[in-house]
Amino acid sequence: MKRLPSALAAACCLGSLGLAAEPEIRAVDKLYQETYRPQFHFTPMKNWTNDPNGLVYYAGEYHLFFQHNPTGINWGNMTWGHAVSPDLVHWKQLDHAIHPDRLGTIFSGSAVVDQGNTAGFQTGLEKPIVCIYTSAGKPFTQSIAYSLDRGRSWTKYAKNPVLGHVAGDNRDPKVIWHEPTKKWIMALFLDKNDYALFASGNLKEWKRLCDVPMPGSGECPDFFPLATDGDRRRIEWVFWGANGNYRLGAFDGAAFKPRTDPIRSLWGANDYAPQTYSDIPPEDGRRIQIAWMSGGKYPGMPFNQQMSFPRELTLRRTPEGPRLFMMPVREIERIRGKKHAWTGLELGPNENPLAALEGELWDVEAELAPGRASQVALAVRGEPIRYDAKSGTLHCLGRAAPLKPEGGAIKLRVLVDRTSIEIFAAAGRITMCSCFLPDPSDRSLALVAEGGKAQLRSLTVYELKSAWR
């Protein structure tokens, strides 16, 4: 969670959102069907939202807590909003979970299921869900709250804070359970590019383990293990910063020993403070992440800002060593509609195989061989996703990412909602998530080549349905 509106604007390009003025709210005839309401990305019913918090799975529900201003359309009065979903697609917003108190407003944090009742909060059959968050007072400290009824009501721990001030505006605790040492491990942002790890046996008393420098990153850490190519004998620990830079290394329960410098994973204009889920069942085993798509514009809407679509993280071997890959979670298939598919087409400058299609919501999978074309572009609602074959770069909404062809072709996966374009290239090694504000009347889809012929090896376009209906 950000410090103050002024720092937030500088770090996250929020100045253009008009933090000082409340925009006029446009009249709507039905909630969740407003002109610029995302149709399969989470947004609260109304008012400001930013970082995803407390991502945890329990008893058949995915919980999404989020930074929320319950009284205004702009940043401020930070409180934890709350929503639940059975499938990561269809969300139901619940009452606010954690409100400001004598220790300050409620900044970002995480949540866990205390399966072993280490904190001693359990009184019935339900396992406690425990939220760990920053109390943003003077100074910043870390506190906990718990629920004994599947997240429907919350009790703050009477002896908060559980971790006093350490440094700077220390904040954004991400807690995981480390089975080998039977300890809870907390990753905490300290100040500038500095983070630290702490350990606890009961979520109430914490001991500092080690410091973790993350050059070029700040705030909102995440910390988790991943198996390389699914091989549990080849575990890497991932230490993650708010801007998506991450380091790989080893963790023995006492110290994180990085073996890489920070590696960039996010290339889009609006992708910040991602967090991964806790307590995903072992039979599922996925590492699922949601980000805040920071800095979008939603003129006249009753809400402000949105989340990314949930994505699955995997670790795979590459010539440079193990690297993170991201793809939309498979549950997107639940809102797929009509399918359109092409294979083996030659694509020229004046040819558009998608000319007959129109709509707002798309899931596109494409494999393209640039051939003699200098550029190939998929244009969604007038906004081009352009591949420059000469420079080997992918461009969208003012951002560029390196993308080398494999076997002479590039692979793209693109999700299009009313106010966002999410691109996953090279099987997800390159992720570009950005907000846009198209003309509502532009529902076009186009695929064109420039400067020569390109080969369309395969193209699948799914029309998507609204998750709110």
Catalytic residues: 51
The radius of gyration of the chain's CA atoms, rounded to the nearest angstrom, is 22
Separation CA 448–CA 138 (nearest Å): 56
What secondary structure, in 3-state letters, does the chain show? CCCCHHHHHHHHCCHHHCCCCCCCCCCCCCCCCCCCCCCCCCCCCCEEEEEEEEEEEECCEEEEEEEECCCCCCCCCCEEEEEEECCCCCCEEEEEEECCECCEEEEEEEEEECCCCCCCCCCCCCCCEEEEEEEECCCEEEEEEEECCCCCCCEECCCCCCECCCCCCCEEEEEEEEHHHCEEEEEEEEECCEEEEEEECCCCCCEEEEEEECCCCCCCCEEEEEEECCEEEEEEEEEECCCCCEEEEEECCCCEEECCCCECCECCCCCEEEEECECCCCCCCCEEEEEEECCCCCCCCCEECEECCCEEEEEECCCCCCEEEEEECHHHHHHEEEEEEEEEEEECCCCCCCCCCECCCEEEEEEEECCCCCEEEEEECCEEEEEECCCCEEEECCEEEECCCECCEEEEEEEEECCEEEEEEHHHCEEEEEECCCCCCCCEEEEEEECCCEEEEEEEEEEECCCCC
Do the beta carbons of residue 388 and residue 374 sit within 8 Å?
yes
Pair of tokens at residue 259: 């073996």
- Looking at this protein, which amino acid is placed at residue 446? A
- Within 10 angstroms of residue 346's Cβ, the number of other Cβ atoms is 11
Amino acid in position 44: P
Residues 167, 161: contact at Cβ < 8 Å? Answer: no
Q: Residue 74 pairs with which residues in a beta bridge?
A: none
Q: How many alpha carbons lie under 13 Å from residue 258 in its C-beta half-sphere?
A: 19
**Dihedral sign (CA 77, 433, 243, 18):** negative
